[in-house]
Amino acid sequence: MKVVTSDSKAAMARKAAVDGAELIRAALRARGEANIIVATGASQFEMLEELVRAEGVAWSRVTAFHLDEYVAVPISHPASFRLYLWRRFVSKLPLPLRTFHYINAETDWEGECHRLDAIIREHPIDVAFIGIGENGHLAFNDPPADFETEKPYLVVNLDEACRRQQHGEGWFATLADVPTRAVSMSIRQIMKSKAIVCTVPDHRKATAVKHAVEGLVTPLVPASILQEHGQATIYLDPPAATMLKQK
């Protein structure tokens, strides 16, 4: 795992997007196609703005996967991650993607996991664009995360810290409105990605960053597993890096 701290949130986002775009271009050069994972949330706003402007990416040869989605939330809801990804990524690209495999967890979420499991097993991931939650989660794998399951997608329970973050970021009007379950890509599936671009801005993530980067690898800090990935890079702005021994 590598840590890159930039001078500002804007510079962090630009660096993550530039590096991520080059990883996609490298996969396209090597195989003529690329498979990626795209995350959501407030931490990804600026990075996605930069990524969609990347030059020389043949997006029509890129297949994308959705990282997580709330159970029983319709696509029309402001907090829907499918809506987020359409507005902030898919619709902004200069060319349409080959395919985007959205998670539809509105009704049959267990069936949706099985459907996506079969698809992603046929699409080895070249680049995973992810973030880290305030509670140290990866995707919606809250602590203690399951580090063992080989299932690509899971139905998971959201802990209170995770739900407070979703409310605090303004996605839901009240804490009671935040769903208690979600469909999430599993830890092992994320770790199977050839490269991981992890963008983590803001001081509210500083404690999680410290434990993930400098602490023990433990399911109690799901993002700590990134220490074991040979091509994972965490991109930080100065506030997110404030608690690290070497910023």
Domain CATH for 195: 3.40.50.1360
In a domain? residue 51: yes
In this structure, is residue 151 part of a structural domain?
yes
CA distance 28 to 130: 20
Q: Is the peptide bond prior to 143 cis by the omega test (within 30 degrees of 0)?
A: no
The answer, as to whether pTM is greater than 0.85, is yes
Of 219, 208, 216, which is closest to residue 241 (Cα–Cα)?
Answer: 208
Q: How many domains does the chain have?
A: 1
What is the pairing mode between strands 68-70 and 181-185? antiparallel
Give the pLDDT of the chain (247 residues) as one tens digit per residue: 999 999 999 999 999 999 999 999 999 999 999 999 999 988 999 999 999 999 999 999 999 999 999 999 999 999 999 999 999 999 999 999 999 999 999 999 999 999 999 999 999 999 999 999 999 999 999 999 999 999 999 999 999 988 988 888 888 899 999 999 999 999 999 999 999 999 999 999 999 999 999 999 999 999 999 999 999 999 999 999 999 996 5
The answer to whether position 246 is within a domain reads: no
Does residue 108 lie in a domain region?
A: yes
Residue span of the structural domain in which 133 resides:
2-241
CA atoms lying within 13 Å on the CB side of residue 200:
36
Q: Within a domain: residue 247?
A: no
